[in-house]
Amino acid sequence: MTINMIMPIISCAISFILPQVKVWYDSKGTFSPYVTRSKSMGKYKFFRGGSAYMISFKYSDALNVCFIVMMYGISMPILFPIGAITLTLQRLSERT
């Protein structure tokens, strides 16, 4: 659960860094929208466009955390604050 707690932060960082690396590669290190290596509009949209937002993965992660906390929280009460922190971090990372 502690690994699950830091995963929203890691996924948020990856989802921010990876598109910037793609844009940097496409613009030959200048970040200019007018300088590009792309030869077609499809390639340009691949490098400059964002990814699709998959609500099903976010929803299943939240349900997984709730299930594990409610199932094992009685015997390990530390899971309740860990689960609350996990759900809060997931919510905050979805809002950004």
Q: In degrees rounded to 5, what are phi and psi of residue 27?
A: -90, 15
Helices (runs of H) and strands (runs of E) counted in the chain? 4, 0
Q: Give the whole-angstrom CA distance, residue 39 versus residue 36.
A: 8
Residue 93 has pLDDT above 90, yes or no: no
Q: Which of 79, 22, 25 is nearest to 48 (CA)?
A: 22
Give the residue extent of every domain in the chain: 2-95
pLDDT of residue 65: 92
User: 96 pLDDT exceeds 60?
Assistant: no
pTM reported for the whole predicted model: 0.65
pLDDT tens-digit series, residues 19-54: 889 889 988 888 888 888 888 888 888 888 877 777
pLDDT band at 94 (very low <50, low <70, confident <90, very high): confident
The answer to whether residues 48 and 25 touch, using CB atoms and an 8 Å cutoff, is: no
What is the tens place of the pLDDT at every residue in 51-86?
A: 777 778 788 888 999 999 999 999 999 999 999 999
pLDDT, residue 47, reads 84
9: Cβ–Cβ under 8 A, 6 or more apart, which residues?
Answer: 89, 93
